Amino acid sequence: MTEFNVDVTTPDGEMDCFVAHPDGDGLWPAVIVYMDVPGIREELRNFARRIAEQGYFAILPDLYYRDGKVRFDLSKGEEELQRMFKIGGELSVARVMRDTRGMLDYFASNDNVTGKVGCIGYCMSGQFVIAAAGDYPDDFGAVASLYGTRIVWGEEDSPHMKARAAKGEIYLGFAEQDHFVPNSDLEAIKEVFDEAGVNYSMEVHPGTDHGFCFPERGPMYVHDAAEKVWDIFFDMCARNLK
């Protein structure tokens, strides 16, 4: 496997991205891994590597690049936790859509990337992948949002409203217990997506809490549910990207 870091030009500056892809000079569909609020760490790089092993050009952008090289040490306690939520809360959908435009331009200029783009997002970034599906419908063929927060704002520019324009396939996986995502969000997404004819599936994973996909999340990690999500996502990518 080949891996490296690259600066991707966005309307707001240079965004550091981790890239992993199979060895050689192939042509691979791109898959974006949008980070959750704790930001860049080896756990997310391992997600990108796993995607690359399936034959994709996986890219993990550092969406906090506007604030420098931000890394959190949550063992420091409440003050560091509040810093994380403050910086994460400032990362708007509009900003991430500009970052997404930069990555799509980067793919278009890369001789190793071909075809439609896939993306996967967790928690904070669940809203970003849903918005990207609607803002760039001709680019995204497979989109997975896992226990995504703030997908529903109730406004016209809410991510779930944007996604009415989506042309790709969307999967939304939620936790059974999640104080970050109200049940009303799931109902609103279903109503809007059904009315718009969006190609989507939605699932609540029994016996799970918010964060169940992350193996380093301790007791929150649920192996069977996390592996099921990977299977669903890779099936989507195989259908829609390859």
Residue 136 structural domain: 2-240
Is the pLDDT at 76 greater than 80, yes or no? no
What is the arithmetic mean of pLDDT over 219-227? 95
**DSSP codes, 143-157:** EEEES-SS---SSTT
How many structural domains does the chain have? 1
Query: H or E segment at 23?
Result: none
- Residue 72: pLDDT band with limits 50, 70, 90: low
Looking at the chain, the whole-number percentage of residues with pLDDT higher than 70 is: 96
Burial class (CB in 10 A: 0-12, 13-18, 19+), 116: middle
Query: pLDDT tens digits, residue range 14-45?
Result: 999 999 999 988 899 999 999 998 889 999 99
Could you tell me how many residues make up the chain? Answer: 242
Nearest CA among 207, 239, 235 for reference residue 222: 207
Query: pLDDT tens digits, residue range 89-119?
Result: 788 999 999 999 999 999 999 999 999 999 9
Where is pLDDT greater, at 124 or 155? 124
Is the pLDDT at 64 greater than 70, yes or no? yes
CB 59 within 8 A of CB 18: yes
Q: Quickly tell me which residue has 């969000």 as its tokens.
A: 185
Joined together, the tokens standing for residue 221 give 């990690």
Is the pLDDT at 143 greater than 80, yes or no? yes
- Residue 73: pLDDT band with limits 50, 70, 90: low
Q: What CATH number should be reported for the domain holding residue 84?
A: 3.40.50.1820
- Residue 82: pLDDT band with limits 50, 70, 90: confident
Q: Would you state the torsion angle of the CA atoms of residues 35, 40, 46, 49, taken in this order, to the nearest 10 degrees?
A: 70
Indicate the average pLDDT of the chain: 93
Interatomic CA distance for residues 130 and 31, integer angstroms: 14
Burial class (CB in 10 A: 0-12, 13-18, 19+), 66: middle
